[in-house]
Amino acid sequence: MFLAPSLAGFAVFFLIPFGIGFYYSLVDTPIDGAFVGLRNYAELLGNAVFRRAAVNTLLFTSVSVPLNMLLSLLLAMLLNRNVYMRNWLRIGFLAPLVIPVASVVLVWQALFDLNGSLNGWLHEFGYAPKDWMESDMAFWVVVIVYLWKNVGYNMVLFLAGLQNIPADYYEAASIDGAGRLRQWRSITLVYLTPTAFFVFLMSIVNSFKVFRETYMIAGEYPQERIYMLQHYMNNMFKSLDYQKLTSAAFLMAAAIVAIVFVLFMVERRIARTLG
């Protein structure tokens, strides 16, 4: 009885729209459409624009997620020590989480625009201005924006994991003659495995949310290297092509579910090994 309001809200706003969207992906038109099975999915996979968007999304996730985890772990290990202005640095890295995206995008536009600050600095050193968002460098601009937005959050998670490791383990390992590298490999990495798994999972999910920043910086038809699945689905929505929109959405959802399922299997195997 107490769960009924929550279940009703979940059904109205998530479950029922999910079912309707799946139905749209199996018919030829949303209104009095005829059932066509998987034809919409087959046509979508044969679409060159969709394939480009899918490859770009996969490449972005493959590059940005490992960089995100590496940088956040290094920062967490640094700020876990007694460094100068440690508390202020922690707050600084968390600031991107609370700053509105729209205001941040203005800063990125001023930085990477053809007449922006970065080109102004390069001009001072004798380099020609470069249109960063209309070249192959646009991909790395989006990676930088993603890292700037998410490194702080993952850093906090790694910090919590590091602070939960008992100091006695390091003292015992030091007495036994283990060096810093051996301690880091045999203690820190082992006990950070659950945290690293969660960070990895959240990093993948957040990599699919970079559309907001990319859309506001480069528009609905950005340079081809940063044309993501979210751009494709947004454009299909604007053109009212619900068949391609829903088919693309469910293919992306299926891919995410498959990745999460594989990650859970790997995590359980690692947990049994460590146990």
Q: Which two tokens stand for residue 53?
A: 């968007």
In the chain, where the domains are located: 60-217, 228-275
**What residues contact 274, with CB distance under 8 A and at least 6 apart?**
190, 193
Q: Tell me the β-bridge partners of 35.
A: 27
- Domain 60-217: which CATH class? mainly alpha
Characterize 113-143 residue by residue with b for buried, 16 or more Cβ atoms within 10 angstroms of its Cβ, and e for exposed. Answer: beebebbeeeeeeeeeeeebbeeeebbebbb
HSE (side-chain half, CA atoms, 13 Å) at 206: 24
Angle between the N-to-C axes of helices 193-207 and 138-163, in degrees from 0 to 180, rounded to the nearest 10: 150
> Distance (Å, rounded) from C-alpha 21 to C-alpha 28?
13
- Return the number of other C-beta atoms located less than 10 Å from residue 251's C-beta: 17
Q: What averages of pLDDT result for each successive group of 10 residues across the chain (275 residues)? A: 91 89 84 82 88 90 92 87 74 76 76 79 80 81 87 88 83 81 81 86 85 77 84 84 86 86 82 67
Q: Dump pLDDT digits (tens) for 98-128.
A: 777 777 777 777 788 777 788 888 878 877 7
pLDDT at 6: 92
pLDDT of 275 reads 57
Which residues does 195 contact at the CB level (< 8 Å), separation at least 6?
157, 158, 160, 161
What pLDDT, on the 0 to 100 scale, is given for residue 110? 78
Task: Give the containing element (helix H, strand E) for 162.
Answer: helix 138-163
Terminal-residue alpha carbon distance, the chain: 40
Residues 6+ apart with CB under 8 A from 167: none
Amino acid making up residue 43: E
* Phi/psi at 35 (5° precision): -70, 125
Name the packing angle between helices 193-207 and 48-79 (round to 10°).
Answer: 140
d(CA 79, CA 94): 13
The CA-atom distances, in angstroms, between 58 and each of 46, 105, 226 are: 17, 23, 11
